[in-house]
Amino acid sequence: MSVLVVGSVALDSVETPFGKADDVLGGSATFFAASASHLTKVSVVGVVGSDYPTEKLEPLKKRGVDFSGLEHAEGESFRWRGRYRHDLNSAETLETRLGVFSHFSPKIPEKLRSCPYVFLANIDPRLQLDVLRQVKKPKLVACDTMNFWIQSRRPDIIELLGHVDLMTLNDAEARQLTEKANVVQAAQWIMARGPRHVIIKKGEHGAFMFTEKTIFFAPAFPLESVFDPTGAGDSFAGGFIGYLAATGDLSEANMRRAVVMGSVMGSFAVEKFSIERLMTLTRAEIDQRVKEMRKLVTFEEEIPA
């Protein structure tokens, strides 16, 4: 089944201890689509400016990503410039130029309104709500958000929670949104306002999936070198939703597998700049890492002490 993602399509300039990349593909929808394209059909709704090097989207199109919903507006594309220090744990934003993204108002093309899986990537929650008014009873709607919107649009996010099945956000954002220091309590707070599932991403420390009665945890795959963490969370979401859409199975057992797939796709994303690694990735490599993820956490039945 196919997935609709609504989010940013940007140009990133990134500096890490290992190198620099200028004006490379970035944005939440781009990473999501690059990741999910390994699992299912993805359609992107977003906006780019007249300066956007659309030929750079070719590798994604070759992977079957549908950009028919990508709006081309007059003006500058969304640009983000950031830097990671030695520990790679958090990005320092050096510059954000919203450009055409500041007037973005997502219009979902008619043929995409029936997509059964919808991911509302990190954009203004008012726009996320607006997308939900356009789509027709998806099987699963998931949303992400970020600190900026939590600070400026908290009531809208809370309204949004009443209309989504699942929320993904990182641990700092979960704490900020819920004002709970404890992630278990934060997840309960969010679920009490709508979503049946909450995924709290902890970057290099893995991710939790909460339901009313269960908790699942998948570690981040321990890499010997992380090259550029940009887009890891959206690649996680792409792997997660992409897997659900590919299998069409929303059982707890399958959602756990989807979280592992999310973690695996996030781990590939950080091995190179931008979506580079996701573009060379093979299904065999994905399957191999899923196996390694299992080995990483498996312990056999206990021998009574």
Query: Which residues are near a second copy by CB under 8 A?
Result: 39-40, 86-88, 181-185, 202, 205-206, 208, 214-219, 222-226, 243, 246-247, 249, 253-254, 256-257, 259-260, 287, 290, 294-300, 302-303, 305
Q: What minimum distance in Å lies between the beta carbon of 239 and a second copy? A: 11
Name which of 36 and 123 has its Cβ closer to a second copy: 36
At its nearest, how many Å lie between a second copy and the CB of residue 246? 4
Q: Where are the beta strands (DSSP E) in the chain?
A: 3-6, 10-16, 19-26, 42-48, 66-72, 79-84, 91-97, 117-120, 140-143, 166-170, 197-201, 207-210, 215-218
Rg of the chain over Cα atoms, rounded to whole angstroms, equals: 18
Residue type at 18 in one-letter notation = F
Closer to a second copy at the Cβ: 35 or 122? Answer: 35
Nearer to a second copy, 133 or 253 (CB): 253
8 Å CB contact between 232 and 266: yes
User: Among candidates 157, 148, 149, which has minimal Cα distance to 129?
Assistant: 157
Interhelix angle 154-161/125-134, rounded to 10 degrees, is: 30
- Closest separation between CB of residue 210 and a second copy, Å? 9
Q: Which is nearer to a second copy, 39 or 275 (CB)?
A: 39
Given the complex with a second copy, which of 137 and 295 has the nearer CB atom?
A: 295
Least CB distance to a second copy at residue 259 (A) = 8
Distance of closest approach, residue 7 Cβ to a second copy, in angstroms = 23
